[in-house]
Amino acid sequence: MARKGAKGNTRRIRKPAQSLDERRKAEMDRRESEQKIRIILEGSPIPAFVIGTDHRIIYWNKALEELSGIKADDVIGTDKYWMAFYKEERPCMADLLVDKRLDELHDWYKDNYTKSKLIEEAYEATDFFPDLGNKGKWLRFTAAALKDSEGNLVGVIETLEDETERKLAQDALLESEQKLKSTLEGSSIPAFVIGEDHRILYWNRALEELSGTK
């Protein structure tokens, strides 16, 4: 950096070497941190992506490639992550966290979202995505803010877990219980059902009439 002295002569002012060293170290720390994140995401079996504050994709791991059918090379550097989940462009949960538009969470996810109990500045939700797979998929997704050492927002990570099998099993159990309840209620044979804790689950009308107990 050049500056003129009192006599008009030019003096060159050098920045302290320590300042340059600190900047180099900060840059090295940043790259090392990014490399660690990349290694963790690539080795994770949980689908995940990371966007920067400009909404462009920084990471898109292999697990998400398999879930979405979209290769990382096709979306890194773009803001097209919505294409993996929706037919039309719309914000993902990560977008709302980047822009701090938390008041819009209910508009997009209704009562299906909650604030994470484990992670600060993170939200999670479960929803059905009809365009994933052959018959659609139930996904549980969590978006969490990423900050640097000074507390500045540098991006958001969003993870997605396939809950389809658990959801289908849960629905099948509810359907089975409903059928059992209907059968018992319509039966002329007095009957009751108890759970593993020995508490009564069902007590049909025929048994009410026989025992006099509602």
The string of DSSP letters for 178-198 reads: HHHHHHHHH-SS--EEE-TTS
- In terms of domains, do 150 and 186 share one? no
pTM over 0.75: no
Answer yes or no: is pLDDT of 40 > 80: no
Answer yes or no: is pLDDT of 176 > 80: no
Q: What distance separates the 2 farthest-apart alpha carbons in the chain?
A: 114
Distances (CA, A) of 5 to 14, 16, 131: 15, 20, 69
Q: Pick from 48, 42, 70, 43: which is nearest to 142 by CA?
A: 48
What is the number of domains present in the chain?
A: 2
Q: Would 78 be classed as within a structural domain?
A: yes
- In terms of domains, do 153 and 172 share one? no
Rounded to an integer, what distance in angstroms lies between the CA atom of residue 154 and that of residue 61? 19
The residue that leads in pLDDT, 50 or 44, is 50
Q: Are 68 and 84 in contact (CB under 8 A)?
A: yes
Rounded to an integer, what distance in angstroms lies between the CA atom of residue 173 and that of residue 201? 14
SS3 state at 87: coil
Q: Would 10 be classed as within a structural domain?
A: no
- In terms of domains, do 152 and 176 share one? no
Q: Would 89 be classed as within a structural domain?
A: yes
Q: Would 138 be classed as within a structural domain?
A: yes
The residue that leads in pLDDT, 164 or 4, is 164
Range of the domain at 130: 16-162
- In terms of domains, do 158 and 69 share one? yes
- Confidence bin at 8 (pLDDT 50/70/90): low
Q: The domain spanning residue 55 has which CATH number?
A: 3.30.450.20
Q: Return the percentage of the chain with pLDDT > 90, whole number.
A: 43
Q: Would 110 be classed as within a structural domain?
A: yes
Q: Are 177 and 183 in contact (CB under 8 A)?
A: no
Answer yes or no: is pLDDT of 93 > 70: yes
Tell me the backbone φ, ψ of residue 181, rounded to 5 degrees.
Answer: -65, -45
Pairing of strands 200-203, 192-194: antiparallel
Instruction: Tokens for 194, please give them.
Output: 């108890």
- In terms of domains, do 51 and 149 share one? yes
Q: What is the dihedral of CA 103, 113, 139, 67, to 10 degrees?
A: 30
β-partners of residue 140 are 126, 161
- In terms of domains, do 115 and 48 share one? yes
